[in-house]
Each structure stands twice: as C-alpha cells, then as structure tokens.
Amino acid sequence: MTVTYRQPGVVLTDHTFTVPLDHDDPAGETIELFAREVVASDKADHDLPWLLYLQGGPGFGANRFIGKQAWLGRALQEYRVLLLDQRGTGRSTPANRQTLPLRGGPAEQADYLTHFRADSIVRDCEAIRPRLTGGAPWTVLGQSFGGFCAVHYLSARPEGLAAALITGGLPSLDAHADDVYRAAYPRIERKVAAHYARYPQDVERVRCIADHLLTHDVVLPNGYRLTVEAFQSLGIMLGTGDGSHRLHFLLEHAFVRTPAGPALSDAFQEQVLSQLSYAAHPLYALVHEAIYGQDARPTAWSAERVRAEFPQFDAAKALAGDEPVLFTGESVHPWMFDCDPALRPLRETAELLAARTDWRPLYDRGRLAANEVPAAAAVYHDDMYVDTAHALRTARAIRGLRTWVTDEFEHDGVRAGGSRVLDRLLALVRDEV
C-alpha cells in the first residue's frame, strides 16, 4: 500500500511492506515495515539512485522531517531517500508493553525480541530493496546504531550496497558489552567534567537535587519513580551538540518553595519525564545491550555491573564528601524496569534477554577485510556514545573505508551539521578529497 502527498519542496510516498519475522522461516509469521520515500519536488519524475537511511537507537523510528531539514536537503539533490522505521519502531509492527503480551509470557516475548537486532534489520532491507530499486544496489546512510547495521550490511549483504556512509556508528567487531561500558564510563566522566566547567553553578544544583531524591520518594506525573540513579541518567543528554546547554536550563528551575518546604517543581518534573520515559521507544531499553551480544557470553546487565567498578558515580558517596555528583550516559540498567511504568511489565522479559547465551556473530572479519563497497565514516572525537578507539580499530579492519575524524561535532553531527557531514562523506567515497 502506498500513499503520496507533498510538503514544501518534497514529494512523500508512504510504503508498507510485509516481511518474515524470522527470515530463516519465510513461510512463518510475518510483520509489517513502514518506510517513507522522499524526493525533491522538481525531481519527482526523475530516475534517481536510492539512499536508505537507518536511524540510531536501537528502537527509534526514522526522523519525521518537514521539507528538507538537516542532512535531507543535501541528499535530495541527487537521491530518492527512504526513511525506514526499523522493525518494532514507528509505524512498523510495534513491540512494547501493550503488544508484546500477544506473544505469550516473558519467555515467548524474549524469543520474539531476538529478531530485532542488526542482522534481521539488514535482511528486511534486502527484502524490500528489489521492490523499490528494481534490484539496483542503494547507498546506505547509518547513524549510530544505524551505522552498526551498515557494518553488518557490509559483512552479510554487500551486493546490495552501492556505498556505505556511517556517522558515529562504527561498532567494535568483537568487544563484549563489558568492554564497551568499561570504555564508556571514563568518557562519560569527561563529558560531565566539561559540563561542570562550562556551568560551575550546576555542581551545587545537582548536589541539592540528588540529596532531595535520596531523602524523598518522588513520583513523576505518569507514575515514573524518580530515584537518584534515574536522575543521574539525564547525562545521556551530554552526548549531543547542544545537550550540555539543555541540561543546564533544565536544572536551573528544579526547586520551588511550598508550604511543606522546597519541592521539585512541576515544570522540572515534566521536563525530566520527557527525557527519561521509554514509553515512545521501549525497544531501546529491551535490546540495547543485546546489540553487543555475539557469542555464548550473556550481557547480564553489563552497564550495571561495570558501573560498580567506577565508585565515583555513586551519588551517596559524592554527597558524603565534597565531590560533584556525576551523571551517567547511554546505558540501560535493571532499575529502569522498576522506575518506568512503560517498562515495568517487561522486567522479566528483559531479564531473560540479559541471560541469553545464544547470540549470533554480527560481523564477518574476513568479508570486511575483502570489502569492495565504497565506504566512509564520520568518527566524532571522544564521542560519548561510541568509543573512538573501538571505531578506529573497526575502520582499519574494513578494506577501503575512509574516515573523517572530527571534534567539530558530537554524536548528533549528521543532524546538527546540516549538509556538511553528508557532503564530506560523499566526497570521501567518491575520492573527491
């Protein structure tokens, strides 16, 4: 089914595709994928090459652009763009607390969710590509987790690619989740230190909020239990270009005076809720650590276990002395499934995923070493979400991949940089720079 309509300067076509849940069982259960085709109005009738955009996450639907926002305007100069809602996200068949009980109990839900990693996403892409391109290969632009998917694409289905463009998304080819988080916590600490250097007044504000949360039971308007650990997880904002500023403005009006004494303001609570709730993207919490699973070792709540190796992130210990309270970053913890009402019904399902020991390898080193697909990657220096050293080791393992290492942008450079990031990557794969 397709529906075509217009926005300023672009023509949009909505597509729905039916694909197998398990591509190894094509006659079995099916799910739906939604994708939005975008083409410049003055090129709508042209025979253009395709660019497939894979969103970061996991668990987020594709961007909902208006017209030619961000990098899209540059892409539309020469491509017909497909914005794919990866399986389980956006308008594709959803996977959340409301729909997963249709699978059965937690064990059945966990089995179902094993089909929501990069390998299944790439097979989805290959299932729909011939229907759109007539069989021609397309260029993939992978942001963050979308870049992980792009590297799997190069490993498993390179014949489907004309080029691979990756932004902030070169994964380690062999690191366990523990290795990922051992590298992550020191980066997070540096980002927090940079935030406090920019906004020193926030040191005391954060200490006051943390102290309040340790001594009060705070429940947000939707039933989210705001613990000090949950508050610390707002540090995920520090991985984006404007995140430090947005966090500062959120913190500056945390308290109001009430007849019962100081309390967290309604405005603060509402903004915190918008940042912390997983209601719109529960897959992120459910399969985030699973994207690193590649062998018989369980992920076993890696971020939570590894955090214990970094006692400087313990808010109570910081408050007992005169140290600043540190935020954390892009990590998922078991307590989130107690705090967040969107995740509470899925706690046992998450536990079963964390205990799995049958993850398939996602990357083929031999095939990557023989790669013939033109490929380029933007590697953001000291990216909070993806370790730079891991990314550069992977870049060296992919034959012919060219890197652009820059500290001009944070993890969201492809959004914040307008046309510049995509322009640079296209020039690299075309040997124009």
The residues that are catalytic are 144, 358, 411
Q: How many residues does the chain have?
A: 433
Classify 184 as helix, strand or coil.
helix
Classify 64 as helix, strand or coil.
coil
Pairing type for strands 10-20 and 30-40 reads antiparallel
Tell me the C-alpha distance between 98 and 275, whole Å.
21
Tell me the C-alpha distance between 291 and 119, whole Å.
10
CA 81 to chain centre: 20
Task: Give the type of residue at 195.
Answer: H
Kindly report each contact of residues 289-292 with a partner whose C-beta sits within 8 Å and lies 24 or more positions away, as own/partner. Answer: 289/177, 289/332, 289/353, 289/354, 290/113, 290/114, 290/117, 290/353, 290/356, 290/359, 291/58, 291/117, 291/118, 291/145, 291/148, 291/171, 292/171, 292/172, 292/175, 292/176, 292/177, 292/180
Tell me the C-alpha distance between 268 and 262, whole Å.
13
Q: Where would I find the H helices in 199-253?
A: 201-215, 228-232, 243-251
User: What tokens does 322 get?
Assistant: 């005169």
Bond from prior residue into 58 cis (ω within 30 degrees of 0): yes
Tell me the C-alpha distance between 397 and 355, whole Å.
30
Does residue 138 contact residue 49 with C-beta atoms inside 8 Å? yes
